[in-house]
C-alpha cells in the first residue's frame, strides 16, 4: 500500500510520499501522480519521508514532469532526502542539473545533487 | 643494438629482471607471513606484468610459463590454495628458470625444467582445481591478453545500453548492471530520457531510460560484455573503444560535434548548420530540438572524461622515472670529469690574468661544475637493498642445505651507493654471508646445548658515514678460533713460529690466501679461497675490511666503502715541483713542522701533536724527490682503522675536486697509489692510497701506535 498524502490549497497541491517507493507500488504511484496533475496547476512532490526510491520511480517522476510541462503546469520536488539523491546518482541523472538554463525545462533534477564529486 | 625491436626487448629484459627480484623478495617474505594478502597480490602482479610485457615482445615461452604460475597464484589469491614452504620453494625455482629464460637469446624455453616445475606445482593444487587443459596449461578462467584495447592497459570505452522495455518485468534492475560497470573502472553514466513519454501515455512498468556510459578500465572488452551477459538478447548494447590511453594522442580530445556525429546522434548537415551560427554547439542543438539535452550531456561528459584521463596519463608519465642504460650515465660522469678538469684550468688562468671579470666567470663555472658533479653522482646512487635482497635467498637456500636455522635481519637497506659499487659488492657480500652460515652459525642442537637460541641471526646493516658507506655483517655464531688460525698460519708459514701477534692482526690472517681452518672442505667453503678475494675486491673499490670476533659469541665484519668511484674530494699537496692528492675523507688536520723540530727515534719519524705521538712519512724520501725542503713543512695527518699517521709535504695547496684516472698496468704493483688526476695546468698529480701507504710503512717495521680507545 502506497503511503501518501494529498493537500490542495488553491492552485497548488502537495503530494507527500513516505516509506518505500518502488516498482511494486509503481502502478499506484502513477495513479496518484495523475490525480495530482489533473487537480492543480502547481504540483509539489514531497519525498522527505521516503526510505527507498528506485529507477522506475525516477522514470515516472520524469514522465509526470513531461506531462505537466506539456499542459502548461509546473511540477517540482520540494525535498531531497538521501535515498532520492542516491537513486539519481545511481541512475546517471545527476548530470542534468547545473546546465544551461534553456535546458531546465527538461530537467527535474535539482542542482544540489549535481556536484561533480557527488555525481561519480 | 640499433634495431628498435631489440632495444625494446632489452628494456623488457631490464624491467623483468627488476620484477623477478621483487618477486623473489615478496616470495621470501610470504614464506614467513603466508596469510599476507598484499604479498600475494604483489607476487601475482609481478607475474602478470612479466607475462603481459613478454607477450608484447614475443617471449612466448616466458609468457606460457608465467601464465601457469600466475594461474596458480590466482588460486592462492582467491584463497583456494594455501601458501606452503613447498609452494614458495617451487615458485622460487620457477623464478630462477625465468631468469635463465630471460638471459638466453630469445627467451628460449628451458623446456624440461620449466615443465617439471609446472608439473610439481600442479601436484600442489587441491583436487578440485586440478583441471589442466590439453596444452598443459592450468585450467580455469584465462585472460586472453593481446590486441589493443584488451586486458592490461587502461582503455576508454563508449557504451550505449538500451535495455528492453520489459527489463523491469523480467526481474532485472538496470541499476545493478550500471553498478557492475562502475566497478570495472572509472565510469560516467548519463541516462537518456528522451524516450520517456508523458505520464498519461506511460506504462509505469516499462523501461524508457537508456544509458550512455564512458568507462575507462584495464579489464578489457570481455569484462564489459560479461556484465550484459543475461540481458544481451533483449537489450541493445553497443560498445566502442574510443581511447587506448595512447600517449601519442595527448592533445585534448574530439570536439562535441565530432562525438555526436560519430554516435549517429546528429547528421553532418545538422552539424554544419549549427556550426555556422557561431554559438555553443550543444546549446544550439538542444534549443533547435535537433538532439535532446541528454545526448549533448553525454558527449560533453565523454569529452571531459577522456581529456582528464589523457591528462592523468601524461602527468603520471611525467612524474615517473625513465629507464636509461647505465653506460650513458657512465659516459655522462666521464664528461663531467673532463669538465671539472677544464674548469680547474680556467680557474687557474683567471687567477693568472687577474681579471676580475674572468675570475667571476671561472667561479661561476666552478660552482656549476660542482653542482653537476653532485647531481650525476646522485643519479648513479641506488639503494643497497638490491644487494641485500639477493642475500635473503642465499641465507634461505644455504641454511636449508646445511640444516641450520638462520634469521636474516636487515637494517639500512635504503642506504644509497654508486651503482657500479653495488654491482661489485654483490659477490663479496655473498662470500661473507656464506662463510657466516657455514663456519659461524652452529647447528640448532649445538646452539641449544650452549644456551643460545636455536635460530642463529645474521645481521646486515648499512649506513652512511661522511663520504663513506659502512656495511656490517654480524653473526651470533661460534666466532673465530684464534688459536686455530694462529696454528694454521704458522703451519703455512704466514707468521713465524712463536711470534707474539695481536688478536686484531690474527683476524686479518683469515683474509690471507690459502688459509682455511675448516676441518673439511664442503661445497660451500673451506677451500681457503673466498675471504682473500673478498678483501681484494673491497680494496679494489678503495674500501677496507675489518673483522672483530669473540669466540662463542660471533663475528662482525665491517666493510667501509667510498660513496663513489669516479670523483673524490682531495687535498692537493706539493713536494718540490710534484703534486699529490690525499683523499680528503681521511684527512684529520694539517700541522706545521719546523725543520730541526723533527725528531727521529731509532730512525722512526714521529711528531708530537698536542701531546699525542703521531708517526709520519717523509713523502720526499718515499718518492725520491730531490731539492731542498722549505724551512717550514706541513704534516697532513690522516686517520684510518683507528690509527693516525702523517704525511710530510712541502706545501698544502688546498681542496681539489679530483677526477680519478686509472694508471696503466705498469703501476699496478704499487698499491699505495690509487690513480692519478689531471690538474688545471695540465700536469698530473698522483693520488695517494693513504691506508695502503700506512700499511706499507708498517711492513717497513715502523710502529704506529693505536689511538687510545675513547
A30 to chain B: nearest residue by CA? B204
* Cα torsion angle, A12, A18, A23, A28, sign: negative
Contacts of B308 in chain A (CB under 8 A): none
The model's pLDDT over B95-129, given as tens digits with 9 standing for 90+, comes to 988 888 888 765 565 556 777 888 888 888 776 56
Contact A38, A8 (CB under 8 A): no
pLDDT on residue B597: 58
Nearest CA distance, B196 vs chain A (angstrom) = 6
Residue B211 has pLDDT above 90, yes or no: yes
Q: Which cell is B413 given? A: 637497506
pLDDT digits (tens, 9 = 90+) for B619-645: 888 888 888 888 889 999 988 766 788
Residue B48 to residue B353: CA distance in whole angstroms: 65
CA B519 vs. chain centroid, Å, equals 39
CA closest to B212 among chain A residues:
A92
State which residue of chain B sits closest to A100, comparing Cα positions.
B283
Question: How far is B250 from B652, CA to CA, in rounded Å?
Answer: 59
Class of residue B371 by CB neighbours under 10 A (exposed 0-12, middle 13-18, buried 19+): exposed
Q: In the prediction, which pLDDT does B205 show?
A: 92
CA distance B337 to chain A (A): 53
Single out the residue of B35, B225, B191, B20 nearest to residue B103, CA to CA: B20
Q: What does chain A come to in residues?
A: 120
Residues of B in contact with A55 (CB under 8 A): 168, 173-175, 207, 209
Q: What does the alpha-carbon distance between residue B284 and residue B274 come to, in Å, rounded to a whole number?
A: 6
- Determine the pLDDT at residue B142: 35
**A87 or B146, which is more confident:** A87
Judge: A95–B190 Cβ closer than 8 Å, yes or no: yes
Highest mean pLDDT out of B297-301, B326-330, B419-423, B571-575: B571-575
pLDDT of residue B529 exceeding 60, the answer is no
Which H/E stretch holds residue B75?
Answer: helix B60-77
DSSP state letter for B548: E
Three-state SS at B481: coil
Residues B310, B333: Cα–Cα separation, whole Å: 36
Please answer yes or no on whether A54 and B175 come within 8 Å at the CB atom: yes
CATH topology of domain B567-699: OB fold (Dihydrolipoamide Acetyltransferase, E2P) (2.40.50)
Count of C-beta atoms within a 10 Å radius of residue B526 = 17
Average pLDDT of B254-281? 77
Among B213-222, B244-253, B383-392, name the most confident range. B213-222
CB distance B196–A95 less than 8 Å? no
Contacts of B187 in chain A (CB under 8 A): 120
Q: In chain A, which residues touch B (CB < 8 A)?
A: 23, 26-27, 29-30, 33-34, 37, 54-56, 58-60, 62-64, 66-67, 70, 90-93, 95-96, 99-100, 102-103, 106-107, 119-120
User: Is A91's CB within 8 Å of B178's CB?
Assistant: yes
Q: Which residue has the cell 637493498?
A: B385
pLDDT tens digits, B298-328: 888 888 888 877 777 766 666 667 777 778 8
CB contact under 8 A, B293 and A91: no
Sheet of B544-550, strand order: B406-411, B456-465, B468-475, B554-562, B544-550
Query: What does the pLDDT read at residue B144?
Result: 35
C-alpha cell of residue B265: 546522434
Residue B416's pLDDT is: 83
C-alpha cell at B517: 681452518
Asked if B175 lies within 8 A of A29 by C-beta distance, the reply is no
Q: What is the SS3 assignment for B462?
A: strand
User: Nearest-CA neighbor of B308 among B240, B243, B234?
Assistant: B243
Lowest mean pLDDT among A50-54, B174-178, B476-480, B491-495: B491-495
Q: Nearest-CA neighbor of B314 among B376, B251, B363, B267?
A: B251
- Closest C-alpha to A57, from A47, A67, A44: A47
Cβ separation of A63 and B191 shorter than 8 Å?
A: no
Collapsed DSSP state (helix, strand, coil) of residue B187: strand
For B287-297, what is the mean pLDDT?
77
CA distance B218 to B550: 58
Q: What percent of chain B has pLDDT over 70?
A: 85
Residue B604: its pLDDT value, please?
A: 62
**Chain A interface disruption, residue of B191, B280, B282, most A CBs within 10 A:** B191
User: Which residues, at least 6 apart from B612, have a Cβ–Cβ distance to it below 8 Å?
Assistant: B644, B707
Vertex B585 angle, CA B581 and B591, to 5°: 70
DSSP class of B665: G
- State which H helix or E strand residue B86 sits in: helix B85-103
What is the grid cell recorded at B668? 699496478
pLDDT digits (tens, 9 = 90+) for B471-488: 999 999 988 888 888 888
Report strand pairing: B567-575 vs B578-583.
antiparallel
Given this model, what pLDDT does residue B22 score?
Answer: 86
The C-alpha atoms of residue B508 and residue B511 are separated, in whole angstroms, by 6
Share of chain B above pLDDT 90, in %: 14
How many angstroms separate the CA of residue B294 from the nearest CA in chain A? 7
Domain boundaries A3-119, corresponding CATH code: 3.30.750.24
Q: Which of B76, B74, B83 is nearest to B34 (CA)?
A: B83
Rounded to an integer, the average pLDDT of B50-61 is: 76
Contacts with B193 from chain A: Cβ below 8 Å: 62, 93, 96, 106
CB B205 to CB A23 under 8 A? yes
- Give the pLDDT confidence score for residue B137 in this predicted structure: 41
Contact across the interface for A66 and B208, Cβ inside 8 Å = no
Q: Lowest-confidence range among A38-47, B185-194, B285-294, B599-608? A: B599-608
Using the predicted structure, report yes or no on whether residue B150 has a pLDDT greater than 50. Answer: no
| pLDDT greater at residue B689 or residue B407 | B407
Nearest chain B residue to A99 by CA distance is B297
Asked whether the beta carbons of residue A30 and residue B209 sit closer than 8 angstroms, the reply is: no
Residue A81, by phi and psi: left (phi above 0), alpha (psi -120 to 50) or beta? beta
Residue B405 sits at φ, ψ, to 5 deg, of -110, 120
Beta bridge partners of B190: B212
Residues with Cβ within 8 Å of residue B128, at least 6 apart in sequence: B80
- Whether A62 sits inside 8 A of B193 (CB atoms) is yes
**Beta-carbon separation of B178 and A92 below 8 A:** yes
What is residue B682's DSSP assignment? S
At B343 the pLDDT is 85
- The model's pLDDT over A11-36, given as tens digits with 9 standing for 90+, comes to 899 999 999 998 889 999 999 999 99
**A23/B168 touch (CB, cutoff 8 Å), yes or no:** yes
Which of A63, A92, A116 to probe by mutation at the B interface, max B CB count within 10 Å? A92
Residue B709 reports pLDDT greater than 60: no
Residue among B190, B197, B199 whose CB faces A92 most closely? B190
Which of B102-116, B144-158, B191-205, B264-278 has maximum average pLDDT?
A: B191-205
Task: Find chain B residues with C-beta within 8 A of A119's C-beta.
Answer: 188
A51-60, B139-148, B513-522, B599-608: least confident range: B139-148
Q: pLDDT value at position A120?
A: 28
Cβ-nearest to B293 among A58, A70, A106 = A106
CATH of domain B4-129: 1.20.120.160
Residues of A in contact with B211 (CB under 8 A): 92
What's the CATH architecture for B395-562? Answer: 2-Layer Sandwich (3.30)
Query: Inter-chain contact B294–A107, Cβ cutoff 8 Å?
Result: no
Residues of A in Cβ contact (< 8 Å) with B197: 63, 66
- Nearest residue of chain A to residue B173 (CA atoms): A55
List of chain A residues whose C-beta atoms are within 8 Å of the C-beta of residue B207: 55-56, 59
Tell me how many degrees the CA angle B421-B425-B426 measures, rounded to the nearest 5: 125
Three-state SS string across chain A, please? Answer: CCEEEEEEECCEEEEEEEEEECHHHHHHHHHHHHHHHHHCCEEEEEEEEEEEECHHHHHHHHHHHHHHHHCCCEEEECCCCHHHHHHHHHHCCHHHCCCCHHHHHHCCCCHHHCCHHHHC
Residues B212-237 have pLDDT tens digits of: 999 988 888 888 888 888 888 889 99
pLDDT at B496 over 50: yes
B681 dihedral zone (left: phi>0; alpha: psi -120 to 50; beta): alpha
| A21 Cα to chain B: minimum distance (Å) | 13
Closest Cα in chain B, distance from residue A69 (Å):
9
Domain chopping of chain B, boundaries: 4-129, 155-319, 326-380, 395-562, 567-699
Q: What is residue B42's predicted lDDT score, i.e. its pLDDT?
A: 86
The region that residue B412 occupies, defined by phi over 0 for left and psi between -120 and 50 for alpha, beta otherwise, is left
Mean pLDDT over each residue of chain A, to the nearest integer: 79
How far is B390 from B525, CA to CA, in rounded Å? 19
The grid coordinates of residue B216 equal: 575507462
pLDDT at B651: 92
pLDDT tens digits for A66-112? 888 888 888 888 877 888 888 888 888 876 654 444 444 445 654 43
Going by C-alpha positions, the residue among B577, B558, B542 that lies closest to residue B658 is B542
Backbone φ and ψ of B103, nearest 5°: -70, -30
Alpha carbon B33 to chain centroid, angstroms: 24
Tell me the three cell numbers of residue B64. Answer: 606460457
Task: Spell out the domain ranges in chain A.
Answer: 3-119
B649 and B619 Cβ atoms separated by less than 8 Å = yes
Contact B204 A29 (CB under 8 A): yes
Of A37, A91, A99, nearest to B175 by CB-CB distance is: A91
Across chain B, what does the average pLDDT equal?
A: 80
The residues near B523 (Cβ < 8 Å, ≥ 6 apart) are none
Of the pLDDT bands very low, low, confident and very high (cuts 50, 70, 90), residue B601 is: low
pLDDT of residue B498: 73
For residue B25, the Cα-to-chain-centroid distance in whole angstroms is: 12
List chain B residues with CB under 8 Å of A120.
Answer: 186-188
Bridge partners of B612, per DSSP, are: B609
Q: How far apart, in Å, are the Cα atoms of B584 and each of B176, B415, B464, B691?
A: 71, 22, 16, 13
B177-181, B356-360, B404-408, B656-660: which range is least confident on average?
B656-660
**Do B77 and B44 touch, CB atoms closer than 8 A?**
yes
Amino acid at each position: 500500500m502506497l503511503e501518501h498524502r494529498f493537500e490542495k490549497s488553491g492552485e497548488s497541491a502537495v503530494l507527500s510520499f513516505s516509506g518505500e517507493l518502488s516498482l511494486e507500488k509503481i502502478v499506484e504511484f502513477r495513479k496518484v501522480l495523475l490525480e495530482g496533475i489533473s487537480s492543480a496547476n502547481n504540483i509539489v512532490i514531497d519525498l522527505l519521508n521516503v526510505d527507498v526510491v528506485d529507477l522506475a520511480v525516477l522514470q515516472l517522476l520524469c514522465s509526470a514532469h513531461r506531462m505537466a510541462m506539456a499542459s502548461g503546469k509546473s511540477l517540482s520536488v520540494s525535498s531531497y532526502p538521501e535515498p532520492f539523491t542516491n537513486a539519481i546518482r545511481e541512475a546517471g541523472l545527476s548530470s542534468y542539473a547545473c546546465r544551461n538554463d534553456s535546458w531546465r525545462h527538461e530537467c527535474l533534477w535539482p542542482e544540489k545533487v549535481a556536484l561533480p564529486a557527488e555525481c561519480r | 643494438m640499433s634495431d628498435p625491436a631489440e632495444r625494446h626487448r632489452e628494456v623488457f629484459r631490464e624491467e623483468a629482471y627488476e620484477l623477478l627480484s621483487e618477486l623473489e623478495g615478496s616470495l621470501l617474505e610470504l614464506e614467513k607471513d603466508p596469510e599476507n594478502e598484499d604479498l600475494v597480490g604483489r607476487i601475482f602482479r609481478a607475474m602478470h606484468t612479466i607475462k603481459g610485457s613478454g607477450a608484447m615482445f614475443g617471449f612466448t615461452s616466458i609468457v606460457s610459463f608465467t601464465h601457469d604460475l600466475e594461474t596458480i597464484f590466482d588460486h592462492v589469491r582467491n584463497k583456494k590454495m594455501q601458501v606452503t614452504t613447498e609452494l614458495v620453494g617451487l615458485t622460487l625455482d620457477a623464478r630462477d628458470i625465468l631468469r635463465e629464460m630471460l638471459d638466453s637469446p630469445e627467451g628460449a624455453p628451458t623446456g624440461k625444467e620449466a615443465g617439471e616445475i609446472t608439473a610439481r606445482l600442479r601436484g600442489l593444487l587441491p583436487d578440485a582445481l586440478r583441471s589442466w587443459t590439453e596444452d598443459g596449461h592450468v585450467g580455469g578462467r584465462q585472460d586472453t591478453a593481446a590486441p589493443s584495447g584488451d586486458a592490461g592497459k587502461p582503455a576508454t570505452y563508449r557504451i550505449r545500453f538500451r535495455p528492453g522495455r520489459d527489463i523491469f518485468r523480467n526481474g532485472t534492475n538496470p541499476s545493478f548492471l550500471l553498478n557492475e560497470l562502475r566497478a570495472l573502472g572509472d565510469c560516467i553514466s548519463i541516462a537518456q530520457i528522451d524516450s520517456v513519454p508523458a505520464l498519461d501515455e506511460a506504462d509505469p512498468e516499462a523501461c524508457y531510460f537508456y544509458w550512455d556510459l564512458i568507462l575507462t578500465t584495464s579489464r578489457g572488452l570481455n569484462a564489459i560484455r560479461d556484465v550484459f551477459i543475461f540481458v544481451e538478447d533483449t537489450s541493445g548494447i553497443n560498445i566502442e573503444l574510443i581511447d587506448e590511453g595512447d600517449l601519442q594522442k595527448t592533445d585534448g580530445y574530439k570536439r562535441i560535434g565530432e562525438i555526436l556525429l560519430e554516435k549517429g546522434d546528429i547528421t553532418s548537415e545538422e552539424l554544419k548548420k549549427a556550426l555556422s551560427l557561431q554559438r555553443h554547439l550543444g546549446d544550439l542543438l538542444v534549443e533547435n530540438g535537433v538532439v535532446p539535452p541528454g545526448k549533448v550531456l553525454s558527449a560533453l561528459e565523454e569529452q571531459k572524461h577522456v581529456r582528464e584521463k589523457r591528462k592523468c596519463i601524461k602527468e603520471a608519465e611525467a612524474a615517473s622515472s625513465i629507464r636509461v642504460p647505465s653506460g650513458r650515465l657512465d659516459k655522462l660522469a666521464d664528461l663531467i670529469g673532463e669538465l671539472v678538469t677544464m674548469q680547474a684550468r680556467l680557474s687557474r688562468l683567471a687567477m693568472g690574468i687577474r681579471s676580475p671579470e674572468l675570475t667571476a666567470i671561472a667561479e661561476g663555472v666552478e660552482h656549476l661544475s660542482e653542482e653537476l658533479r653532485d647531481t650525476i653522482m646522485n643519479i648513479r646512487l641506488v639503494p643497497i637493498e638490491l644487494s641485500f635482497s639477493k642475500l635473503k635467498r642465499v641465507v634461505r637456500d644455504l641454511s636449508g642445505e646445511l640444516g641450520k636455522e638462520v634469521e636474516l635481519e636487515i637494517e639500512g637497506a635504503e642506504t644509497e651507493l654508486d651503482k657500479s659499487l653495488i654491482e661489485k659488492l654483490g659477490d663479496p657480500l655473498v662470500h661473507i654471508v656464506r662463510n657466516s652460515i657455514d663456519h659461524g652459525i652452529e647447528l640448532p642442537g649445538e646452539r641449544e646445548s650452549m644456551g643460545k637460541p636455536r635460530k642463529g641471526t645474521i645481521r646486515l646493516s648499512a649506513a652512511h658515514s661522511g663520504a663513506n658507506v659502512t656495511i656490517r655483517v654480524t653473526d651470533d655464531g661460534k666466532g673465530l678460533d684464534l688459536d686455530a688460525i694462529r696454528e694454521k698460519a704458522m703451519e703455512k708459514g704466514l707468521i713465524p713460529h712463536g711470534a707474539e701477534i695481536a688478536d686484531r692482526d690474527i683476524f686479518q690472517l683469515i683474509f690471507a690466501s690459502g688459509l682455511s681452518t675448516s676441518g673439511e672442505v664442503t661445497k660451500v667453503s673451506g677451500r681457503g679461497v673466498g675471504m682473500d678475494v673478498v678483501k681484494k675486491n673491497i680494496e679494489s673499490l678503495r674500501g677496507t675490511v675489518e673483522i672483530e670476533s669473540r669466540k662463542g659469541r660471533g663475528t662482525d665484519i665491517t666493510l667501509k666503502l667510498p660513496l663513489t668511484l669516479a670523483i673524490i674530494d682531495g687535498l692537493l699537496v706539493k713536494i718540490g715541483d710534484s703534486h699529490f692528492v690525499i683523499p680528503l675523507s681521511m684527512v684529520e688536520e694539517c700541522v706545521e713542522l719546523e725543520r730541526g723540530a723533527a725528531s727521529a727515534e731509532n730512525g722512526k719519524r714521529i711528531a708530537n701533536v698536542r701531546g699525542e705521538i703521531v708517526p709520519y712519512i717523509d713523502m720526499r724520501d718515499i718518492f725520491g724527490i730531490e731539492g731542498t725542503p722549505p724551512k717550514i713543512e706541513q704534516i697532513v695527518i690522516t686517520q684510518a682503522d683507528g690509527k693516525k699517521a702523517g704525511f710530510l709535504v712541502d706545501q698544502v695547496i688546498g681542496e681539489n675536486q679530483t677526477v680519478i684516472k686509472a694508471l696503466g698496468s705498469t703501476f699496478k704493483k704499487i698499491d699505495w697509489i690509487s690513480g692519478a688526476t689531471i690538474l688545471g695546468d695540465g700536469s698530473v698529480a698522483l693520488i695517494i692510497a693513504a691506508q695502503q701507504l700506512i700499511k706499507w710503512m708498517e711492513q717497513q717495521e715502523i710502529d704506529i701506535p693505536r689511538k687510545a680507545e675513547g
